[in-house]
Amino acid sequence: MKADILGVKVDRETMAETLLKIQEAVSSHQAIQVVTANPELIYGAGKDARLKQLINSAQIVTPDGVGVVWAAKRLGYPVEERVTGIDLVEALLPVAAEKQWRIFFLGSQPGVAERAAQKAAERYPGFQWQAAHGYFSREEEQGLVEQIRSFKPDLLLVGLGAPRQEFWMFSHLDLDTISIGVGGSFDALAGINKRAPRWIQDIHLEWLYRLIRQPSRIKRQLVLPRFAWRVIRSSKEQARTRKAR
């Protein structure tokens, strides 16, 4: 059973189980959409019915961040571990190299997706790739779509930022590929924004590390206490409902 977090249905599978589901989709040539749902996206879905509908129609919705893991537990749906966009990409790359998949990197500023793909291919040689930045105009979009369709990727990594990447993925279902929303993962893969040391990740303070290094993220981080309050309020409503029965 999926975790119901403020009306958003989030999968409870581990990273290993999520990887297996994606591998099976590639092997069976099944086109699916993968949403990496962090607190900001879930909170935003509470104010946008269309966004919530899109997320809940995805075949895989991962718990992206410790905040989502906490919320799931608080609401009575224990989740074993977080499955973030960047961790999922880094786990998929060696599999892609071994199985010689085709990966399209779409998003970020000009040159970043290409640099991310090149660095990934150097580290895990074996997969084929193409890349394009996320600053395309409406007039350029059709050419981009045709490029992706012609390349026939096994994986389409969409790093357009949430919720733009979710809306974009679901408006291009005809690309017939496994599409994964990966947020700012290309900046990390390209070495532009370095990830927190492993020990900081292990104590679940990567969000604080990123905030210190990128103070401009403060506006996004202000969503977190509002998200937490909504979760707490929802859990209290659940408790009252159980008592009333």
Omega before residue 39 within 30° of 0, cis: no
Convert the pLDDT of each residue in 69-96 to its tens digit: 999 999 999 999 999 999 999 999 999 9
- Does residue 154 contact residue 26 with C-beta atoms inside 8 Å? yes
Model confidence at 151: pLDDT above 80? yes
Model confidence at 208: pLDDT above 70? no
C-alpha gyration radius of the chain: 18
Model confidence at 138: pLDDT above 90? yes
pLDDT at 221: 76
Structure tokens at 183: 């947020």
Confidence of residue 211 (pLDDT cuts 50, 70, 90): low
Confidence of residue 242 (pLDDT cuts 50, 70, 90): confident
What are 109-114's contacts with CB under 8 Å, separation 24+?
A: 109/133, 109/134, 109/135, 110/135, 112/186, 112/187, 112/190, 112/192, 113/159, 113/186, 113/190
The single-letter DSSP state of residue 2 is: -
CA nearest to 26, candidates 103, 131, 120, 86: 103
Give me the mean pLDDT over the 136-150 stretch.
97
Convert the pLDDT of each residue in 15-59 to its tens digit: 999 999 999 999 999 999 999 999 999 999 999 999 999 999 999
Query: In terms of residues, how long is the chain?
Result: 245
pLDDT at 202: 77
Report the alpha-carbon distance of residue 94 to residue 241 in Å, rounded: 47
pLDDT mean across residues, the chain: 93
Report the alpha-carbon distance of residue 214 to residue 200 in Å, rounded: 16
